[in-house]
Amino acid sequence: MNTETLDELNRLRWDGGAGHYEVYFLKLHDPATGISAWLRYTLTAPLPGIGDARCEVWAVCSDPRRPGQHMAAKDTFPIRALQSNAAPFEIRIQDSRLDSQSCRGHAGTGPDGPRLAWDLRFEPDCEPLLHFPVRAMYRAGFPKTKVLSPNPLARFSGEITVEGRRLLLRDAPGQQSHLWGSRHALRWAWCNAGDFAEAPDAVFEGLHSEIQAGPLRIPHILLFFLRLDGTWHRFASVRQCFFNRSRYRPEAWEFELDNGSLRVQGRVSAERGAFAGVTYLDPPGARLYCHNTGLADLHLRVLDRRGNELRALSCHRGTAFETVERRPHPGIPILL
């Protein structure tokens, strides 16, 4: 993959003003241990009167052998702790850093050292993914959140340390994404998988969001993508954004997709104990509650136009899945 392209997609968009948030996040799943990790480098610059601009380093690790016992940590700093470079891309928050091929950091610093630490390299395993059907949407005022994945499938190697326990990773599948904007969506569901038993190079990503456009609510923006046998199949045209079928709830999500040449039926789900809750602050001041897991199951049926099954794909306890609402879900602990 061209490093300059990855650097441009990752370039920090914040201009130093109020009313902006920006997130770099990485998700990975280690098949050897079953452990999933979710790492975030973020900034929030609220509107005047809401609070001071800040930057944060987050980490959440989950082990399927210890359901409900997630390790989560976050360190918050004044915005002056954030430094960035465009070419080559790098973002630094204190001594935690991210570039287009590696990340290093820690969170939850205490007297005995950080609760969570990581030192990882990642190699791109496919082309970047731009979610919006029209590239001008990345420059326009609508939608108010922009999202893209410089690395929708990457292979991670290095180490993660969880409360002193050192885990060595080699070619663990994962992803690295970048989003920014002036306001979060009202609510959404999202999933990503790149560890399919039947096709190790396949990637699936889905996003179902409800957004505000002035006084109007737009209840269903549906963006879905499948990379199979080296080709991206997009279910995200302007028409498909509104007419794909999708229904989600806290622990499961079903969808039916049709792009005119392929159909996909899918379901992603996880037990409630697999989810960890975290909170986001919207620049205008609202608080959102994210219910996230890296241990979900995903099952896909890929069909031709007549409904004949072409492929069946499954990712067991390695799918990233989250729902975000304006209130917390009962039974899912808010850890951060």
Structure tokens at 251: 């622990």
Separation between Cα atoms, residue 102 and residue 121, nearest integer Å: 4
Contact predicate 315/298, CB 8 Å: yes
Residue 198's pLDDT is 94
For residue 42, what are the CA distances in angstroms to 49, 62, 137, 324?
Answer: 20, 21, 22, 17
Question: In terms of residue numbers, what domain contains 44?
Answer: 3-325
- Angle among Cα 181, 242, 258 to the nearest 5 degrees reads 120
Quickly tell me which residue has 């979900």 as its tokens: 296
Residue 133's pLDDT is 85
Quickly tell me which residue has 């729902």 as its tokens: 323
Q: How many CB atoms lie within 10 A of CB 231?
A: 7
Separation between Cα atoms, residue 14 and residue 252, nearest integer Å: 34
Facing residues of 165 across strands? 162
Residue 134's pLDDT is 85
Low-confidence ranges of the chain (pLDDT < 70): 1-4, 110-112, 213-219, 241-242
The reported pTM is 0.94
**Domain at 57, CATH number:** 2.40.370.10
Residue 157's pLDDT is 98
8 three-state secondary structure: helix
Assigned domain for 335 exists: no
Assigned domain for 276 exists: yes
Tell me the per-residue pLDDT of 194-245, one tens digit each, with 9 for 90 and over. 989 999 899 999 999 988 766 666 667 899 999 999 999 999 887 776 678 9
Separation between Cα atoms, residue 336 and residue 291, nearest integer Å: 11
Residue 51's pLDDT is 92
Facing residues of 157 across strands? 121
Assigned domain for 196 exists: yes
For residue 248, what are the CA distances in angstroms to 1, 185, 291?
Answer: 34, 16, 13
Structure tokens at 16: 């130093």
Facing residues of 55 across strands? 43, 77
Assigned domain for 330 exists: no
Report the domain count for the chain.
1
230 burial via Cβ count (<10 Å: 0-12, 13-18, 19+): exposed
Structure tokens at 314: 């499954």
Assigned domain for 332 exists: no
Tell me the per-residue pLDDT of 27-64, one tens digit each, with 9 for 90 and over. 999 999 999 999 999 999 999 999 999 999 999 999 98
Structure tokens at 84: 């960035």
Assigned domain for 200 exists: yes
Strands 54-62 and 36-45 come out as antiparallel
Separation between Cα atoms, residue 181 and residue 30, nearest integer Å: 31
Assigned domain for 247 exists: yes
